[in-house]
C-alpha cells in the first residue's frame, strides 16, 4: 500500500508516537490529518504535510467530522494509525480504598473505545474509495502495549484497554476483509514518549536495563518506521507485532 498522494489519519498526532508517525507519513508524500485535543495541538510543532484537527476520539460526532475532512482532501483516504491514549495507574485495592470505577471506565473509553470509534468511522470512508490491486483499499494500525500481555501492578485499567486492542485485531481484520481493509496492531514496550518525560534519568536507566537487547528505551521514530512497514506490506493482516527488544514485563 503506497502512501504517496493519499490521505492518512493519525490519532494522538500532536506528540509522541503519533507525532513521529504523522511526520513519517508526510515525509512519504501523504496528506496527514493529525487528530488530537486542543491543548496538545497548541504545543505541537508545524510539520509540512500535517494538518492538525481538533478531535476527541471518544466523541462520535467529532470523529465523523474529522474523518470527513480527511476523506475530502482530494486524494483517497488509505491509512489510519491510532496512537491516542492515556496510561495512568491505580491499584485494585490501594491505600485510598478500592479502584475508582470512573477511572477504569475513562481509560477503557479513551484507549479501547476511542480506537474502535476511529477504526469504524474511518473504515466506512475507506470502503468508499476505488479499489487497488487485489481489491485493496486501505489499512488501519492500532496501538496496544506489552501491558496487554504482561500488565504490571497498578495497570488493571491500562492493561485491560490494551488487551482489548489486541483482541480486536483479528475480528476487525475479518470483518473488514470484504472491503479490502487490513487491520494490524503494534504492541510497544517502553518507548521514550511524553509519558516518561517527568521521570528521573536514573529511573529511565533502570527501565532500559530491563530490556534484553538493545538495552535502551524504544524511540517514537522506530514506532513510526514499523507502522509504515506494516502499511507497506500488503500481505500482513490481523496480526499484533511486539516492538519491545524482547522485553517481558515483571510484576512491578
Residues known to be catalytic: 158
Angle in degrees, 0-180, between the axes of helices 220-232 and 16-27, rounded to the nearest 10 = 50
What are the start-end ranges of the E strands in 12-49? 31-36
Widest CA span in the chain: 58
DSSP 49-105: TEEEEE--TT-HHHHHHHHHHHHTSSS-EEEEEE-------B-SEETTEEPPHHHHH
How big is the chain by its Cα radius of gyration, in Å? Answer: 18
CB atoms inside a 10 Å sphere around CB 170: 15
Angle in degrees, 0-180, between the axes of helices 156-176 and 114-126, rounded to the nearest 10 = 20
Sequence-separated contacts (24+) of 44-50 with Cβ below 8 Å: 44/13, 44/14, 44/15, 44/19, 47/19, 47/22, 47/23, 49/25, 50/13, 50/22, 50/23, 50/26
Cell 487491520 found at? 183
Nearest to 25 by CA among 61, 43, 50: 50
Q: Which helix (H) or strand (E) segment is 39 a member of?
A: helix 38-43
- Compute the residue count for the chain: 252
Amino acid at each position: 500500500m503506497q502512501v504517496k498522494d493519499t490521505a492518512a489519519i493519525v490519532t494522538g498526532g500532536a506528540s509522541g508516537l503519533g507525532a513521529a508517525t504523522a511526520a513519517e507519513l508526510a515525509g512519504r508524500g501523504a496528506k496527514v490529518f493529525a487528530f488530537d485535543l486542543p491543548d496538545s495541538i497548541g504545543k505541537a510543532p508545524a510539520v509540512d504535510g500535517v494538518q492538525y484537527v481538533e478531535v476527541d476520539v471518544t466523541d462520535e460526532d467529532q470523529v465523523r467530522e474529522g474523518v470527513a475532512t480527511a476523506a475530502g482532501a482530494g486524494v483517497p483516504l488509505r491509512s489510519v494509525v491510532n496512537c491516542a491514549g492515556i496510561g495512568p495507574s491505580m491499584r485494585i485495592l490501594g491505600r485510598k480504598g478500592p479502584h475508582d470505577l470512573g477511572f477504569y471506565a475513562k481509560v477503557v473509553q479513551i484507549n479501547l473505545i476511542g480506537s474502535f470509534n476511529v477504526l469504524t468511522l474511518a473504515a466506512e470512508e475507506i470502503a468508499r474509495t476505488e479499489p487497488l490491486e487485489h481489491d485493496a483499499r486501505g489499512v488501519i494500525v492500532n496501538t496496544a502495549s506489552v501491558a496487554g500481555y504482561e500488565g504490571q501492578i497498578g495497570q488493571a485499567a491500562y492493561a485491560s484497554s490494551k488487551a482489548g486492542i489486541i483482541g480486536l485485531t483479528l475480528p476487525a481484520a475479518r470483518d473488514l476483509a470484504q472491503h479490502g481493509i487490513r487491520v494490524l496492531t503494534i504492541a510497544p514496550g517502553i518507548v521514550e514518549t511524553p509519558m516518561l518525560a517527568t521521570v528521573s534519568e536514573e529511573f529511565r536507566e533502570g527501565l532500559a536495563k530491563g530490556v534484553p537487547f538493545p538495552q535502551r528505551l524504544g524511540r517514537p521514530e522506530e514506532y513510526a518506521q514499523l507502522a509504515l512497514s506494516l502499511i507497506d506490506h500488503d500481505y500482513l493482516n490481523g496480526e499484533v507485532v511486539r516492538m519491545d527488544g524482547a522485553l517481558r514485563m515483571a510484576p512491578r
